[in-house]
Chain A
Amino acid sequence: MIRNETASESAFRSDVRCWLEKNLPKHLRHLTFRPRPEEIMPWYKALSQRGWIAPHWPVSAGGMGASAVEQVILMEELARIGAPDTPTQGLNHIGPMLIKAGTAKQKAEHLPRILSGDAIWCQGYSEPNAGSDLASLVTRARIEGDELVINGHKIWTTWGHYAHWMFALVRTGGKRRDGITFVLIDMATPGITRRPIVTIAGDDEFCEVFFDEVRVPLGNVVGEIGGGWKVATSLLDDERMHLGTPLAANRALVRLKRLVSRMNVADQEKWRARVTEAEIATETVTAAWLDVSDRFEAGVGIENESSYLKILATETVQNILDAALEAAGPAAALCQPLRENGQRIDVNEMFLQSRRLTIYGGSNEIQRSILATRVLGMGMGGGNV
């Protein structure tokens, strides 16, 4: 962050830095892939107990109610020490949705367990034939008594094979956006089959999920039957803000710096400008994120503008990792990360993993279409620029 920090912000930063140094186990540092639940969840719970797991949640819902600046400080410090990725579907997606649209019972049942790390969540939106065109989804649910009976197939489900719960969009009737229902599904329900999918990066980050006569209580529906599209899209700007945070850019920058730091002095000299350029790029993402957060806070219309954050953040990460790959030299194609002086130095894992950033959460092509048509008003006979 380039802005001047207030005294309390600086104090918060050093507090975070010290605590992380003391509490983040060495073997969990500078990993690329999210460690499996048995490894990562103790760390998640440690962050939770410290009160830092949900900086963006309101205090009334058990969150930190942190300012945007405090959130950036947390991200920067987590990246700096090489903290691992934690599962985020609960914290960034279903949590905020339940806070906004859930029943009192749903909130009481799920929010504390998301915060504590006792429940891992996954998102059941995409299907084999419903990706960017999500409204074409065909996983069906029929109402029988006080239950929904679900049949169908979800795919690209991040951490679906580890999740305890899924929030899903299913078709209870109608066409396109009408007739879609938003439902919470206990993954232990009979009739659910999960199959992990290995990514180009070699990890099994996501999976596909099959539903065969899966019975879910109607009490698990969020919003109205047939009103799921509204629930799912009511927080789109909020979600794109999560896809547009400076966390990943900071992590990529740390990787680039670690690769440069193992070069000989002359090469390090040559790379200093590239590293600085990556720093400028990272600070640009931070500035953009803080700017949109400010506008959110002030209630100034930012509808769909957050698409620009997603594009900016994800493409910045990919650009920095392109530089990192070059900095790795001949080691860039190795199967394993480097191990030097007891340090693990990633060469290509995050590069490969980051290819998904411009695809998921609404591909960057879709985001550009949104910007062009809804923000620039192109091809609509008007605009607000």
Chain B
Amino acid sequence: MPVWSEQERMIADSAADFFEAKGGTTRVREARDRGGQDRSRWQDAADQGWIGMLVSESASGLGLDLRDGLVLMREAARSLASEPLAAAIAAAQGLAALPCREILLEAMAGGRIVLPAWATLKSEGDLWSGESDALTGLGAADSVLLFDRGGDGAVMLVNREQGGVTMNAQPTLDGGDIGQVMLKGVNAEVIASGAPARRLARDTFDTRLMLEAAELCGLSDEVLRRTRAYLETRKQFGTALASFQAVQQRMASVYVQVAAAEALLFEAARAFEGPRQSFAAQAAFYRAGQAAHFASREAIQFHGAIGFTDELDIGFYLKRCLAITAARGGLEAIPAQLAN
């Protein structure tokens, strides 16, 4: 756990208060039962200025840095917020580097949900076709900032209502959703292309990955905290479960992985704008994902039968962790992708 600055501590505290005041983990049940995002919650997050937190003050953002973003997302994850805040923050940062001032202002104000997506597209003249990678939170998105991996690395903004654009999503276990943007002969304006566009595509991707890694770290820390508290109160054989060495040793193993993932996350932030940025972001996501899967599974085990019920929130942490990592194609593939 890094030494936090005063500002980072303030961000963490206000984020923790905010998410708790907005219903804490009950949000995730509401989202699941409703089968979609509640737009008023998005507005609340936007009102905090968080969507534009990485956008400079001169562009009407909060002008904070990546580390601040990590601190925020780490706290957001405690309440299992399934809104695509990480993706929206990364998209806003991307928009700020493009001639998209109006859209950026709308996005930061919460009036328009803009998410980033990556795709390998085909073009015939001005008409674009293809489908993007899986994208969480697409169900509520109004627009997608689309980065073409192929060709000239074109960047474009496509809207839900636009002709030829399909943005269908399916619900996920965590109360969120996932889907792909489909383009069929869409007449889209190319906002940027070439080397700067590719750099922006990479930076946006890495930023989103880091913010999601922070969520994974935050939810790991939260399940560790909740599980420890439970082990202290639950008694069997006349003594608290926390006093059993078999349980202590395994909890310590969870702690080691969670602490290591957090250390790597904040170290990776120091690699930004340098030669190892992408490696760092992927590595941070990989280790945070592993720690989160480990911590949330052990948490269910240590809660015993009650941990297996829908009634207790602890199972949602595993589901949230699964939703975040599955959207990236799982963890197994990451080292191979990095090696290539």
Residue ranges of A at the interface with B (Cβ–Cβ < 8 Å): 2-4, 272-277, 279-280, 283-288, 290-292, 294-295, 298, 300, 305, 308, 311-312, 365, 367-369, 371-373, 375-379, 381, 383, 385
Contacts and interface: CB of A to CB of B under 8 A. Distances in A.
A282 to B, nearest CB: 10
B306 interface: no
Task: Give the bracket for the number of chain B residues in contact with chain A.
Answer: 35 or more
A284 B335 contact: no
B280 interface: yes
A378 B242 contact: yes
Interface string B230-243: 01100000001011
B231 A378 contact: yes
B264 A385 contact: no
Nearest to B291: A284
A283 B284 CA distance: 10
Among B263, B279, B286, the one with the most A-chain Cβ atoms within 10 Å of its Cβ is B263
Contact of A4 (B242, B261, B263, B270): B270
B249 interface: yes
Given A2-B280, A378-B248, A290 B253 contact: no
Contacts of B225: 385
Nearest to B333: A273
Contacts, number: 134
Contacts of B255: 308, 371-372, 375-376
Interface in B244-269: 244-245, 247-249, 251-253, 255-256, 259-264, 266-268
A282 B129 CA distance: 42
Nearest to B257: A312
Contacts of B262: 291
Task: Name B's interface SS.
Answer: helix
Nearest to A281: B287
B249 A368 contact: yes
A286 B272 CA distance: 17
Interface of B: 1-3, 224-225, 228, 231-232, 240, 242-245, 247-249, 251-253, 255-256, 259-264, 266-268, 270-276, 279-280, 283, 286-287, 335-336, 338-340
A273 B339 contact: yes
Contacts of A2: 267-268, 270-271, 276, 279-280, 283
Contacts of A373: 248
Nearest to B261: A284
A275 B232 CA distance: 41
Given A369-B245, A372-B249, A378-B251, A280 B286 contact: yes
A274 B256 contact: no
B252 A283 contact: no
A286 B283 CA distance: 13
A295 B260 CA distance: 14
7 contacts: A2-B267, A4-B275, A4-B276, A291-B263, A300-B3, A372-B248, A376-B224
Contacts of A305: 259
B28 to A, nearest CB: 23
B279 A368 contact: no
A256 B264 CA distance: 22
A311 B228 CA distance: 20
Contact of A273 (B242, B270, B336): B336
Contacts of B272: 4
Contacts of B286: 280
Nearest to A382: B232
Given A4-B270, A276-B339, A291-B263, A284 B287 contact: yes
B48 to A, nearest CB: 27
A287 B243 contact: no
B255 to A, nearest CB: 6
Given A273-B335, A274-B335, A308-B259, A287 B252 contact: no
Nearest to A373: B248
B251 A287 contact: no
B256 A276 contact: no
